Structure 1
Amino acid sequence: MGVGERIRHCRRAGGYTQRGLAEEIGVTESAIRNYELGLRTPGEFQLKAIARALDVAPESLADVGPESARGALEMVFRLEGEMGFRPVETEGGICIAIDPKAEGSQKISQALRAWKRMRERLEAGEVSEEEYEAWKASFKGW
């Protein structure tokens, strides 16, 4: 899903029309339409304004992440140094653990615990898929 598709999804989930969102952030309706169609990409300032209006994290709208397994591995390599990620082998396979002594590890650990709790609520049927996706988009646990 691209930036435009994520904007459209969050806009609709937030009950905005294209015109309403445009008015909220001070751009034209056609700008929002072009973003959603992928004809234009919002700049950082516009993306932050859209996220603020939709009450979601800007990162939930932006293109982030790898395009390949190697790209994903590169992200993990970088997180090893920045957040203390470590590979751990379990009976179920390979997973990633966080070194509690690493700088920054407390915040990521708290965020992952919050994610685990919400994921468990989804699997237990306590929240819908839409509520779960909205929670992820609006999570600002830092």
Structure 2
Amino acid sequence: MGVGERIRRYRKAGGYTQKGLAEEIGVTESAIRNYELGLRMPSESQLEAIAKALDIAPEALADTGLVGARGALEMVFRLEGEIGFRPVETEDGIGIAVNPKVEGSQKLSQALKAWARMRADLDSGKVSEAEYEAWKASFKG
């Protein structure tokens, strides 16, 4: 899913029309339409304004550049060095653990625990899929 598709998804989830979002951030309706169609790429400041208007984290809109399993694996490899990710085998398969000795890993651990609780709420039916997706998009951990 590209940046434009994510803008459309969160715009609709937030109850905005293209015109309404455009007015909120001070651009034209055609600019929003072009972003959503992938004809133009919003600048970093425009992405931040869109995210603020939609009450989501800017990272929820940004393109991560991940393509397929190898792209995801490359990201995990990078995170190993930056925040101490490491593979662990469990009864359920392979997982990723956070090394608590790496600077910054405590905050990540807390964020992952929050995610686990929210995911459990989704699995148990306490929250809907829409509420879960909204939580992920707005999480600023």
Q: TM-score range by the shorter chain?
A: over 0.9
- Aligned equivalent of 2:44: 44
Contact 1:56 1:138 in 2 (8 A): yes
Within 2, Cα distance between the matches of 1:128 and 1:109? Answer: 24
**In the alignment, which residue of structure 2 is the partner of 1:5?**
5
Give a deviation string over 1:2-26, Cα, whole Å, max 9, x none.
1111111111111111111101111
| Unaligned ranges ≥5, structure 2 | none
- Secondary structure of 1:15's counterpart equals coil
Q: Normalising by structure 1, report the TM-score.
A: 0.95
Q: Which runs of 4+ in 1 moved over 4 A?
A: none
2 CA distance for matches of 1:132 and 1:29? 29
**Aligned positions, number:** 141
Say whether the 8 Å CA contact 1:22–1:28 is kept in structure 2: yes
- Normalized against structure 2, the TM-score is what? 0.96
For residues 93 and 9 of structure 2, the distance between their equivalents in structure 1, rounded to whole angstroms, comes to 34
Corresponding position of 1:112: 112
Whole-angstrom distance in 2 between the partners of 1:42 and 1:138: 20
Q: What amino acid does structure 2 have at the position aligned with 1:36?
A: E
Give ranges in structure 1 of 5+ residues lacking alignment: none
Mean alpha-carbon deviation: is it higher for 26-35 or for 66-75?
A: 66-75
Residues 17-58 of structure 1: CA deviation (Å, up to 9, x unaligned)? 111110111100000011111111111111011001100011
CA distance in 1: counterparts of 2:89 and 2:80, whole angstroms: 16
What fraction of aligned residue pairs are identical, expressed as a percent?
A: 79
